[in-house]
Amino acid sequence: MPEQIRLSLFEMAAPVHLSHGMWTHPRDQRHRIHTVEFWTELGQILEEGTFDLLFLADVLGTYDVFTDGLSTAVKEAFQVPTEDPLIVLGALASATRDLGLAATFSTTYEPPFTFARRLSTLDHLSNGRVAWNIVTSYLANAARNFGLTDQVEHDLRYEIADEYLTVLYRLWQDSWRDDAVVVDRAARVYTDPAKVDYINHVGDHFSVAGPHLSAPSPQRTPVLFQAGSSIRGREFAARHAEVVFVGGGTKEKVRSNIADIRARAVEAGRDPAHLAFLAIAKVIVGRTEQEAWDKANAYDSYRTPREALEQPRRTPELSRYAPTHLIADIIAAKDFGYEMLIRNFEPGQTVADVLALQSRSRGGEFTVVGSPVQVADALERWTTETGVDGFNIKQDVSFDSVRDFVDLVVPVLRDRGLLRDRYTPGETLRERLFGAGQRQPHETHPALAEQLARTAAAVR
Ligand SMILES: Cc1cc2nc3c(=O)[nH]c(=O)nc-3n(C[C@H](O)[C@H](O)[C@H](O)COP(=O)(O)O)c2cc1C
């Protein structure tokens, strides 16, 4: 049986995540993101297509980085207005039964104790379907929303995040034993006090006594996602992530990103086979290739021109450089958005190489326009040639893009044995991604490795 392709839908509780301008398409439904009905409908389509999970991105500030301040971001609905993804996941826990539910949360601004409880609650309510994408946040406006004048320095953010994770692991894994809750009415013991403990963490950035307020949830530690691209970000991913989002670019670049992170995982004492990788993919499918291209061209007429949004936002303004300018030099100068260049390109490439690739792939990442068989071929080729385990699929028009994918591509993937045709009842998200019985992180993951070391020390 061939390896199954992992499918995640890449979304955000906002009218625009990455599909600039597509909210102007008459069929787009994202103006309804603040309604339970929108998420219920999306969740049901994804479960019909037996997607592994829905992933919601998040930011804690606005993109007031354009020359006109706030205006462009607000007019274009560019990641604003945006609703709290963790609350959306709560609604989805009830509206769906099997779909994995993943959201971004930043380790830079809100303390770990309350966040630990929120995720445990979601893991309980969803019967173990929750995943967390760990970010440290990159928007200056977010810093100003939390009492700071500017962002915490990049590598320090990751240092804080490391300690944040240590606190969470101790709350999730150590604080309550599996059999702590007994609900023994006759003996008048709800929870056995010998099986719940303080964590008494005192570190450079956090001081948390515990105990954790939630009883152990099905996965205890939710499935951990990460997408760092800097050296420090990759080190962090190699240590903590179970699923890593790798950027697009060329197949060679994706392959080398995966090899790099797996090698760093070995250095961190982990089994590199216990990391899965998802690449961002944009898919436009029609019943025929012609229909798909007609759709792609029609969509293009609704997009906000790339120059109006993307260049000033996340990617260096490449027009300021000579075509022969080396990517390595832009990265070394840390020009605004340089992280995207690290993720997607090789230092030896030039500005001309980047521009050529961006225009070929309509956005610098894996894009496929075609018939159902052509799309399935491309997805299959990408997994075998790069080693990614699956895709984080973007929508142009919600719900049409995912509806097309489920109606047209999913049957082909199922025929080829690349996608399940039903879910396994009662499995947690981690079991779905890493195999039956894997409810908690693998033994070499720090969530467990550190706990095992502490238990061994206590026994000695
Ligand atoms: C698929 C994907 C999803 C991401 N989602 C978010 C997100 O929701 N919120 C966020 O602040 N950053 C998000 N990022 C950005 C990364 O977390 C990270 O900040 C960025 O890749 C730069 O890496 P660095 O911090 O290691 O330099 C995402 C990146 C990728 C590739």
CA distance 316 to 319: 9
Cα(381) to ligand 1 centroid in Å equals: 26
Q: Is the pLDDT of residue 100 over 50?
A: yes
Binding site residue list: 58, 104, 154, 158, 229-230
Cis preceding linkage at 434, omega within 30? no
Other C-beta atoms lying within 10 Å of the C-beta of residue 211: 16
ipTM: 0.97
- Tokens 């895709």 belong to residue: 391
* Nearest alpha carbon, ligand 1 atom 28: 227
pLDDT at 362: 47
Atom of ligand 1 lying closest to residue 106 CA: 11
Output the average pLDDT for the chain.
91
pLDDT at 66: 73
Q: Which of 105, 135, 365 to mutate to test the pocket of ligand 1 (most atoms within 8 A of CB)?
A: 135
Binding site residue list for FMN: 58, 104, 154, 158, 229-230
Q: Is the pLDDT of residue 249 over 80?
A: no
Q: Is the CB of 392 under 6 A from ligand 1?
A: yes
Q: Does the structural domain 6-301+363-459 have CATH classification 3.30.300.30?
A: no
Q: Is the CB of 245 under 6 A from ligand 1?
A: yes
Q: Is the CB of 14 under 6 A from ligand 1?
A: no
What pTM was estimated for this model as a whole? 0.90
More confident residue, 305 or 367: 367
Q: Is the pLDDT of residue 460 over 80?
A: no
CA distance 402 to 409: 10
Atom of ligand 1 lying closest to residue 158 CA: 25
pLDDT at 159: 97
Q: Is the CB of 372 under 6 A from ligand 1?
A: no
pLDDT at 343: 66
* Banded pLDDT at 312 (limits 50, 70, 90): very low
What is the three-class DSSP state of 450?
helix
* Nearest alpha carbon, ligand 1 atom 6: 57
User: Rounded mean pLDDT of 323-348?
Assistant: 76
Q: Is the CB of 247 under 6 A from ligand 1?
A: yes
CA distance 189 to 127: 25
Residues β-bridged to residue 282: 367, 394
The torsion angles phi and psi of 437, rounded to 5 degrees, stand at 90, -15
CA distance 15 to 20: 9
Q: Is the pLDDT of residue 451 over 80?
A: no
CA distance 180 to 176: 6
User: Rounded mean pLDDT of 197-222?
Assistant: 98
List the chain domain ranges: 6-301+363-459, 309-359
Let me know: does 245 contact 261? Beta carbons within 8 Å: no
Q: Is the CB of 286 under 6 A from ligand 1?
A: no
pLDDT tens readout for residues 54-67: 999 999 998 887 76
pLDDT at 355: 72
Rounded (5°) CA angle 387-281-369: 115
